[in-house]
Structure formats: C-alpha cells, structure tokens
Amino acid sequence: MRTGGAWVRVPYEAGIAKGRFVDLVGAEELPHWTQTIEVSDLQSIAVDPAVHYGFPRLIRAKDGRLLLFYRVGISHAKDPATIAQRTSFDGGGSWSAERIIHRDPDGYSAHNPVAVVAPDGRVLLFVS
C-alpha cells in the first residue's frame, strides 16, 4: 500500500485468510498466487459520466497479466448491460481499450462477473 510516498508491503495473514489457492495434485501454492500486493496511485480506467461501471473484479492470470472485468450499463443493475474486460501487461501501469466480452442476446442485464484462474491457466468467468 502506498502511504506518504513510500511503498509498504501488506503481508498475508494466515489467521485472517479464508483459504488459499493450491495445486490439488501437488498441494503447492500456485505460481501466479501472491502473498503480498503493491498498490499504486489512483488511476482512472473507465470514465464516462453517462455510463455506470459496476461490479469490478481483478485477477492476475498465470502469465502475469492483470485482467479487469466489470459491468457497463446506465444504472446500478436494472438496465440491459454488458460485461467488459481490460488487460494490463505492466502490472497496472497502463490498460488496454475496453473490450465487450458478454452481451445477452435477449436484452437482459448482466451482473457480477466473477473470474478465477484454473490450475492449467485457463481463465473461467461467471456472469449472472
């Protein structure tokens, strides 16, 4: 976490954590899982006053990319909406253009994108 211009490591607290990601075969922590996080200065990624961006989810892929998933609509949850993705290849320093990855063909609203990284590296995304 950044405080007053200095970087501070936030340690993983085993007593607080509800679980950890492990390889079920070898019972070792997955190589893309990290026990510390560095937080940079605030950065606007998706900004438009006429759009409601919601339910953001951020994961680190097995190859190190950061993947950001979020809902794009005009209200909190009542309108037809899409799910978008942006990717960072430099740890969050810069982000790709918005890419719409889900649009319901019947005009229903999309909510709560939840992404996980499978042990083989595939990114699985659930959208309700």
The model's pLDDT over 27-64, given as tens digits with 9 standing for 90+, comes to: 565 565 666 666 667 778 888 889 999 999 999 999 98
- Determine the pLDDT at residue 32: 59
pLDDT band at 1 (very low <50, low <70, confident <90, very high): very low
Rounded Cα distance, 31 and 97, in Å: 28
Left, alpha or beta for 55 (phi > 0: left; psi -120 to 50: alpha)? left
Model pTM score: 0.69
More confident residue, 10 or 109: 109
Name, in order, each residue with C-beta under 8 angstroms of 108's C-beta and a sequence gap of 6 or more: 80
Alpha helices in 72-124 (DSSP H): none
Total Cβ atoms within 10 A of residue 87: 14
State the number of CA atoms in the 13 A half-sphere of 54 facing the CB: 16
pLDDT single digits (tens) 113-126: 999 988 888 999 98
